[in-house]
Amino acid sequence: MSRLDYKTASAYVLISCLAFFLIFYHLGDRLMWGDELTTALLAVNINKFGLPKVSDEKNVITYIGEEIDADKYGNWIWSPWLAEYLAAASFKLFGQSTAAARMPFAIIGFLSVALIAFAAYRIYGSHEIALMSMLFLAASEAFVLHARQCRYYSLVIFAAIVLILGVCLLLKGRRAGGITLLATALTIQFYTNYIVVAGSLAALFILAVVVYKRYDKLWRSVAAVLLIFTLTAMPWILYARVWRQAGQAGKENIAEKVVYYLWEMNFHIIALVIFMVPLIYMLVRPQDKPGMRQPSDDIETFLWILIPSVIATVSFAPGVFLRYLLALFPAAFISQSAILNKYFGSKIVRYALVLILCLTNYAAYYPLYPIRLLDPSNAPFLIHSPALPLATLIRETYTPYTDRLEDVTSFLRREGADGQSAFIADSGMPLIFYNGMKIINAQNLKLNELKELPEWIFSKSVSVLSTRPPLYPTKETAHLYEKIPARVHTSRKHGSIPEPDMHESFTSKDMEELLLFRKKPPDISIQTAVQK
Mind spelling out the 3-state secondary structure of 217-277?
Answer: CHHHHHHHHHHHHHHHHHHHHHHHCCHHHHCCCCCCCHHHHHHHHHHHHHHHCCCHHHHHH
Inter-residue contact 128 to 259 (CB < 8 Å): no
> CA-CA distance, 298 to 235, in Å (whole number)?
34
Per-residue pLDDT of the chain (532 residues; tens, 9 = 90+): 677 888 999 999 999 999 999 999 999 999 999 999 999 999 999 999 999 999 998 998 887 666 678 888 999 998 999 999 999 999 999 999 999 999 999 999 999 999 999 999 999 999 999 999 999 999 999 999 999 999 999 999 999 999 999 999 999 989 999 999 999 999 999 999 888 899 999 999 999 999 888 888 899 999 999 999 999 999 999 998 877 665 555 567 888 889 889 989 999 999 999 999 988 888 877 665 555 677 788 999 999 999 999 999 999 888 888 999 999 999 999 999 999 999 998 999 999 999 999 999 999 888 876 665 545 454 445 568 889 999 999 999 999 999 999 999 999 999 888 889 999 988 889 999 999 999 998 887 888 888 889 999 999 888 877 667 889 999 889 999 999 999 999 998 888 999 998 899 999 999 999 999 999 987 655 455 444 4
> CA-CA distance, 183 to 222, in Å (whole number)?
10
* Contacts (Cβ under 8 Å, ≥6 apart) of 108: 147, 154, 155, 158
Q: Where does 30-126 have alpha helices with state H?
A: 34-49, 66-69, 82-94, 98-124
3-state DSSP assignment of residue 293 = coil
- Residue 529: per-residue pLDDT: 46
- Residue 530: per-residue pLDDT: 46
> CA-CA distance, 245 to 320, in Å (whole number)?
16
**What is the helix (H) or strand (E) element at residue 201, kind and residue range?**
helix 194-211
**What is the helix (H) or strand (E) element at residue 522, kind and residue range?**
helix 522-531
Q: Which residues pair with 421 in a beta bridge?
A: 438
Q: Please provide the DSSP assignment of 79-90 as one string.
A: S-SHHHHHHHHH
- Cα 529 to Cα 379, 520, 523: the distances in Å are 55, 11, 10
> CA-CA distance, 134 to 72, in Å (whole number)?
45
Sign of the C-alpha dihedral, residues 439, 444, 448, 450?
Answer: negative
Sign of the C-alpha dihedral, residues 333, 337, 342, 344?
Answer: positive
Inter-residue contact 503 to 323 (CB < 8 Å): no
Inter-residue contact 191 to 80 (CB < 8 Å): yes
